[in-house]
Amino acid sequence: MALWHVSFLLLPKSAVAEFDEVPEKTFLAYVDEDGGIPQQFTLPADYAARLSALLPRKESWAPELEIWGHEHSDDVQIWRQAGRVSSIGVRVDVRKLDDALLGRFLALADDWSCVLVERRYRKVCRMNVLELRALIAGHPHRRAMSDPAAWLPVLADEVRKKDREV
């Protein structure tokens, strides 16, 4: 993930229950690329058309991956294992926040009985567009893009702390 992205997963509402922050064990089960639990829903038949209305479809570099958008900006990725959805990721470009696109991401998640969950802090995003914009605007990745000297050390400390916990 690039510093100019804030990344989210679409997780089933049933998986996040009433959490404001998804417990690490539950979250890791959904991001484990070596056989995490499959999503607890089936994509609607028109999922590709819905995503294509948000962002242009791109050719994937892996047969298990479908991509809409651009790796250097906003994008959506659907990963499959054995034909089943294993994860749906959304990356938002902090350099150019688009309220209309943020609203469409929230609506899509809701239509699919999911919620956006911010990956770094596992924050469940049960919010409106303005609240999502504020979350992203206050995110360390956004701050690091606007003031690298102040925020890159903060992010580095977080990584070192996380590494010590493992």
- The model carries a pTM of 0.83
Distance separating alpha carbons of residues 32 and 134, to the nearest angstrom: 29
Give domain status of residue 144, yes or no: no
Is 97 a member of any domain?
A: yes
Geometric angle at alpha carbon 100, from 97 and 105, rounded to 5°? 90
Domain count, the chain: 1
Q: What does the pLDDT profile of the chain (166 residues) look like in tens digits? A: 556 788 999 998 988 888 999 988 888 877 755 555 556 667 899 999 999 999 999 999 999 999 999 888 999 999 888 888 888 999 999 888 999 999 999 999 999 999 999 998 899 999 999 999 999 988 776 666 676 676 667 667 777 877 777 6
Q: Which residues pair with 81 in a beta bridge?
A: 84
Q: Would you say residue 67 lies in a domain? A: yes
In a domain, 145, yes or no: no
Domain range enclosing 73? 5-138
Q: How far apart are CA 166 and CA 163, in angstroms?
A: 5
Position 47 in a domain? yes
CATH code, 70 = 3.30.310
